[in-house]
Amino acid sequence: MMLVPCPNCGPRNASDLRYVGESHSRPNPNEVTPQEWRTYLYMQDNPAGLLKETWYCRSGCRQYFTALRNTSTNEFTNHPLPGNKTGAVDPSFHYVSESKSDTNDGASS
Amino acid sequence: MSEFASSVVKTYNETASSSLTLSDLSATTKAIVRAGQGTDAAAGLGAPFGTSRVVDGTLVVGVRPTEWVVLGPAEAVWAFTDAIDNTGHVSKIDFTHSRALFRLTGEDAPKVMEKICSIDWADAMMPDSAVVSASVAKVSCDIIRNDVDGTRSYFIMSDRSSAQYLFDAILDAGEEFKLGVTRA
């Protein structure tokens, strides 16, 4: 059983939640190229390590939240705080991949 | 042995002698109140997410961070909800007919719940008046601990469309503990 730390409900069985996917900031569709938009929509980083991802607590508080998970060990390395929404888990964390650096939160900084 | 007539689930034979009982209270008036954080209504409801309290003959249940359910006799529920401040993002809806409500009572109630729900039912985690939302037999439910004269008791609330399946699943889980059906 994999325990997911919901900020409102506490640790819950992963079957009580829905995995939304990797957490990325949505680029402005009026400013990006079609290539960048396709990358945002379809390309995943899929690292073997820390990944910022969005979860939906479908059986509990019905809230979306963001958490950091080590995809190799399924360990959640920081626990989101109540009230934090997508992208607000850990401002200091930026996962940068070589293939998709233009679509990650703060990756260019 | 009398016949158990339910408002939602099919007819069962009543087993009044059991110390562990399941009853259908779906006819209970239920109102849902949604109030944004920081509103006077949210502060006035006084049951933060994960807790419940009895107010003026109603049970006010904090089922989500900004959502409450008010249960009780119709007059008491409407009197309570009418008095809630409407300022800001506040809505009140009668959803009596969209939700099923069961009550599972008995000292073995946690053992039954353990079989169909992954929540820790220990007193430390789920004391009297605590509220939790979780999957019960794969059905999303709100569960409220509401002890009766010191005996463990849980309200289990689900969508009405899942009522029959959920009722049967709870009965099946409670068979080894001699779970009986009683009239509401």
> For A45-90, what is each residue's pLDDT tens digit?
899 999 988 899 999 999 888 888 999 999 887 666 554 444 344 4
Pair (B35, B60) in one structural domain: yes
* Alpha-carbon gap, residue B58 to B122, rounded angstroms: 26
Partner residue facing B118 (CB), from A16, A58, A62: A16
CATH code, domain with A36: 3.30.2270.10
pLDDT of residue B178: 92
Contact A61 B65 (CB under 8 A): yes
pLDDT of residue B30: 94
pLDDT digits (tens, 9 = 90+) for A32-44: 999 999 998 898 8
pLDDT(A101) > 70: no
Pair (B41, B127) in one structural domain: no
The pair of three-digit structure tokens given for residue A84, joined into one six-digit string: 């934090």
* N residues, chain B: 184
**Mean pLDDT of chain A, nearest integer:** 76
Between the alpha carbon of residue A64 and those of residues A35, A58, A60, the distances in Å are 28, 9, 11
Helices B163-174 and B109-116: angle between axes, nearest 10 degrees: 120
* CB < 8 Å & 24+ apart, contacts of B114-117: B115/B173, B116/B169, B116/B170, B116/B173, B117/B141, B117/B143
Residue A14: closest C-alpha in chain B? B118
Question: B-chain residues within 8 Å CB-CB of A13?
Answer: 118, 135
User: Does residue A76 belong to any structural domain of this protein?
Assistant: yes
CB atoms under 10 Å from CB of B143, counted, come to 25
Pair (B44, B12) in one structural domain: no
pLDDT(A22) > 60: yes
CB contact set of B75 (below 8 Å; sequence gap of 6+): none
Q: How many domains, chain B?
A: 2
pLDDT(B176) > 90: yes
Q: Is the ipTM of this complex over 0.85?
A: no
Secondary structure of chain A as H, E, C letters? CCEEEECCCEEEEHHHCEEEEECCCCCCCCCCCHHHHHHHHHCCCCCCCEEEEEEECCCCCCCEEEEEEECCCCEEEECCCCCCCCCCCCCCCCCCCCCCHHHCCCCCC
Pair (B175, B110) in one structural domain: yes
In contact, B114 and B104? CB cutoff 8 Å: no
Partner residue facing A8 (CB), from B49, B118, B141: B49
User: Does residue A11 belong to any structural domain of this protein?
Assistant: yes
Pair (B137, B126) in one structural domain: yes
Q: What is the percent of chain B with per-residue pLDDT over 90, rounded to a whole number?
A: 75
CATH code, domain with B63: 3.30.70.1520
Judging by DSSP bridges, how do beta strands B90-94 and B99-105 pair with one another? Answer: unpaired
Residue A8: closest C-alpha in chain B? B65
pLDDT(A91) > 90: no
The pair of three-digit structure tokens given for residue B16, joined into one six-digit string: 């009044």
Between the alpha carbon of residue B132 and those of residues A11, A57, A77, B118, B137, the distances in Å are 12, 12, 25, 11, 15
Q: Where are the alpha helices (DSSP H) in chain B?
A: 40-45, 74-82, 109-116, 163-174
pLDDT digits (tens, 9 = 90+) for B96-141: 989 999 999 999 999 999 999 999 999 998 999 999 999 999 999 9
Pair (B45, B106) in one structural domain: no
Sheet holding B90-94, edge to edge: B52-55, B58-64, B67-72, B29-35, B90-94
Residue B132, class by beta-carbon neighbours within 10 Å (0-12 exposed, 13-18 middle, 19+ buried)?
A: buried
Partners of B70 in the β-ladder: B31, B60
Contact B134 A58 (CB under 8 A): no
Partners of B99 in the β-ladder: B159
Pair (B104, B175) in one structural domain: yes
Its domain, for residue A54, covers 3-103
Reported pTM: 0.81
Its domain, for residue B72, covers 29-94
Pair (B56, B37) in one structural domain: yes
User: Does residue A108 belong to any structural domain of this protein?
Assistant: no
